[in-house]
Chain A
Amino acid sequence: MPGKVHVTTTINGESVEFLCEPRQTILEVLRDQLDLTGTKEGCSNGNCGACSILVNGGVIDACLMMAVEAEGEELTTIEGVASAEGLHPLQQKFLEHAALQCGICTPGFIVAAKALLDNEPTPSEERIRLYLAGNLCRCTGYDKIVRAVQDAASAMAE
């Protein structure tokens, strides 16, 4: 029986240590061991984007990353998006535009959209739709999500 592995990583700016089995994904560890349940499990095979997190600033599917791979990396989850001052503009605009219904996809969309706006502050609508193609929403039809991201980009530019 393989032993557990000790992992030291950074999550939302804080140093975190955990023990995991090599077969555990980072999604399992975030949700089941670290109580960071904002990251959702959807398809669990890299299609839906509900488990989107940032690793060193790049958006990835947490269901397709093993927990042992987090050693030495910098992770950001939905819990790290808001600041002490309040909601991130993306979160605020998702609320204002009602860019969610059931909400299960929302953390993934916000994390993915944050990765986009961090690197490209003024994306076109086409670019937003392409960038978020790895995040599925079965409620909204996407238009409100796209408008919320556009509006957040405008708010962040001010």
Chain B
Amino acid sequence: MNAFDYAAPRSVDEAISLLDAENGDVGILAGGTDLIAQLKEGGRKIDLLLDLKRIPEATALTFDEAGLHIGAATSCAQIYTFDVVQSLYPALVDCTSLIGSIQIQNRGSMGGNFCNASPAADTPPSVIVQGGACRIVGPNGAREVVAEDFFVGPGQSALQPGELLIAIRIPPPVANSGAFFLRFIPRNEMDIAVANAAASVVLDADKTTILSARIAIGAVAPTPLLVADAGAALAGKAVDDEDALEAACAASRAAANPISDMRGTIEQRVHLSGVLTGRAIRGAIQRAKES
């Protein structure tokens, strides 16, 4: 690892001033599970290590009428052990509790998972289907980007030079809604998704009709994808309408644009996009019925 400086600012303003280009290449540290590995083995060199964990907004994990505020540096374990997340946002438990080992979950953050912008990242689909947004701060102030627009390409996010992701915000769940996330890996744990999918549904008052739905798939394109056609195929349909379910799965297969690599082939990933979409929708409907 090359030599670099370290700073742990206490405020967003202080962090933004340190992120200035005159400090060279700045590495943003939350849990370090991606960054430190890249510094050791990936050949990444930085001039300054900027630790977010002393900034209150980056470490807060709170819930109020505006919804859930997930500070960008809060760990996966903090998120899935938060009682509000367990009761109101189970799709976040689904994704944060299967990333890496317990050791990784105790350090790795959702903010880091977003900024690393791996096409196979496990947390974005759940956030996308629940209408989440990324709060970005920079020299020109703060802005919000909906989660599906945060990802630009493999390893590339919407962050501009001088900006950093400070929090992820998810609105409160509406009545009669549910969300669900799952992935396919060839082992039981400790693996990277061959494909993943999340779904959210809003049902009518007697929980027989889907009013609206959002579907997102991952590891099957350069970025996580919101599949609008899959959600549209379900809107207004009965919760047990198998034709509508298959139409949503077909929409995910059509949206998938994967590559073949050591984890899976194009054909397998397209097929999995449909299978996981169907299972995510069924899981989301079940949770909405139980809500």
Contact = CB atoms under 8 A, between A and B. Distances in A.
Contacts of B107: 60-61, 64-65
A66 B107 CA distance: 12
Given A59-B106, A65-B32, A131-B102, 16 more contacts: A2-B4, A22-B4, A22-B5, A46-B37, A46-B100, A46-B103, A49-B101, A49-B103, A59-B102, A60-B107, A66-B32, A68-B8, A68-B51, A133-B101, A133-B102, A133-B188
A59 B103 contact: yes
Contacts of A44: 40
B6 A134 contact: no
Contacts of B188: 130, 133
Most buried by B among A22, A45, A52, A63: A22
A126 B263 CA distance: 26
B5 A58 contact: no
B190 interface: yes
Interface of chain A, helix or strand or loop or mixed?
mixed
Contacts of A65: 32, 36, 107
A46 B102 contact: no
A112 B103 contact: yes
A134 B2 contact: no
B95 interface: no
Interface string B28-39: 010011001101
B41 interface: yes
Interface of A: 1-2, 5, 21-23, 25, 44-46, 49, 52, 55, 58-61, 63-66, 68-69, 71, 112, 115, 130-131, 133-135
B40 to A, nearest CB: 6
A116 to B, nearest CB: 8
Interface of B: 1-6, 8, 29, 32-33, 36-37, 39-41, 49, 51, 53, 77, 100-104, 106-107, 188-190
30 contacts: A2-B5, A22-B5, A22-B49, A23-B2, A23-B39, A25-B36, A44-B40, A49-B101, A49-B103, A52-B103, A55-B106, A60-B106, A63-B36, A64-B107, A65-B36, A65-B107, A66-B32, A66-B49, A68-B8, A68-B49, A69-B29, A69-B51, A112-B102, A112-B103, A133-B188, A133-B189, A133-B190, A134-B100, A134-B101, A134-B102
Contacts of A133: 101-102, 188-190
Contacts of B2: 23
Contacts of A23: 1-4, 39
A60 B106 CA distance: 6
B289 to A, nearest CB: 27
A115 B42 CA distance: 31
Contacts of B106: 55, 58-60
A30 to B, nearest CB: 15
